[in-house]
Amino acid sequence: MTAVLAVLTAGLMGLHRTVPNQVGRLGSLLEAFLPWLGLVAVVLLVVALVRRSAVALVVVLLPVAVWTHLFGGLLGTGHGARDDLVVVQHNVSDVNTDPAGTARVLAGAGPDLIALEELLPAALAVYERTLGPDYPYHAVRGTVGLWSRHPLTDVRHVDIKPRQITEPWSRGLRAVVRTPRGAVAVYVAHLPSVRVGVSGFASSWRDESAGLLGRAIAAEELETVLLLGDLNGTVDDRGLAPLTSRLNTARQGFAFSFPAAFPLARIDQVMARSATVGHIRTLARTGSDHLPVAARIVLG
């Protein structure tokens, strides 16, 4: 039985793209928590050792090998790599009662860029006041914003609203950041939430919004692009394929960001084109239900 479960676990990890998404989007649901299948492999390894079964022990090494192939590289720290930019991404939460404290946590990481989602008018003034001295350039469109140490130009709204949403809804912006190493098009986005229920994984709005954002990035004329946002999906989730097929993701670090009380997945993402996203990590908890993430960027 242990050997059978080991083969099944290895198959789910290595062939996760073959799990169908037509019913309940089960494929996306699996991919949202894919790294955690490594825990199943650990449990099976312990069982094989306790039972002193040589056959089971050898077979259990299969899911261990698959997990290492998929995620082993993320275990590195990335120390010593050159950084052109440090960026912070955070869904600050529309019920955050301490925006000033949140802003201080984000600025404490010393980033060049800070992207925020779920900005409300009352809290916006606090972020502007608290971040302003170190981040004199900022842009806000709807409920998303970008603060920068470097000048911002060509700021515009990016329409990523799903067709079925009829109320006012603005969750995307694009700005050009004039860095010392050249112009970078920075997109800040907050994709629709997903839900897990009796009918499966409800992600159709998220997937539609990801498609719209992917087309906007594909049409971007600047060579270097950064995407910072709460994408409500992991980089393994096929629903984000319009983005992950066009952009690089973090090479090192798991940085599980949600939920803040017990992080199970990184749905707050930093992606890039014509740039490398190096190590990504979480910052200290704020008044949000998400953890902030910080990433190191090498341009070119």
pLDDT at residue 290 tops 80: yes
Cβ-count burial 227-236 (b if 16+ within 10 Å, e if not): bbbbbbbbbb
The model scores a pTM over 0.75: yes
209 & 294 share domain: yes
Q: Please indicate, yes or no, whether residues 103 and 145 belong to a single structural domain of this protein.
A: yes
Q: Does residue 80 fall inside a structural domain?
A: no
Residues 98 and 161 in one domain: yes
> In 3-state terms, what secondary structure has residue 125?
helix
**Better pLDDT: 18 or 227:** 227
**Do the beta carbons of residue 44 and residue 9 sit within 8 Å?**
yes
User: Quick one: pLDDT at residue 78?
Assistant: 64
**Does residue 123 fall inside a structural domain?**
yes
User: Which of 35-39, 172-176, 195-199 shows the lowest per-residue confidence on average (mean pLDDT)?
Assistant: 195-199
Instruction: Name the residue with higher pLDDT: 171 or 300.
Output: 171
Which has the higher per-residue pLDDT, 107 or 24?
Answer: 107
pLDDT of 81 > 70? The answer is no
Per-residue pLDDT band at 83 (split at 50, 70, 90) = confident
Q: Can you tell me the mean pLDDT for 47-63?
A: 77
pLDDT at 199: 65
pLDDT of residue 274: 97
User: How many Å apart are CA 65 and CA 59, to the nearest integer?
Assistant: 10
How much of the chain, in percent, has pLDDT values that exceed 70? 97
In total, how many domains does the chain have?
2
- Whether residue 280 is found in the same domain as residue 198: yes
Final residue in a domain of this structure, among 75, 107, 129: 75
In a domain? residue 157: yes
Each residue of 226-264: pLDDT tens digit?
A: 999 999 999 999 999 999 999 999 989 999 999 999 999
Query: Does residue 9 fall inside a structural domain?
Result: yes
Q: What angle do CA 278, 239, 177 make, to 5 degrees?
A: 45
- Which residue has 């950064």 as its token pair? 226
State the residue range of the domain holding 59.
Answer: 2-75
Same domain for 103 and 60: no
**Structural domain ending residue among the three candidates 47, 75, 103:** 75
From 57, 75, 93, the end of a domain falls on: 75
| Structure token digits, residue 288 | 């949000």
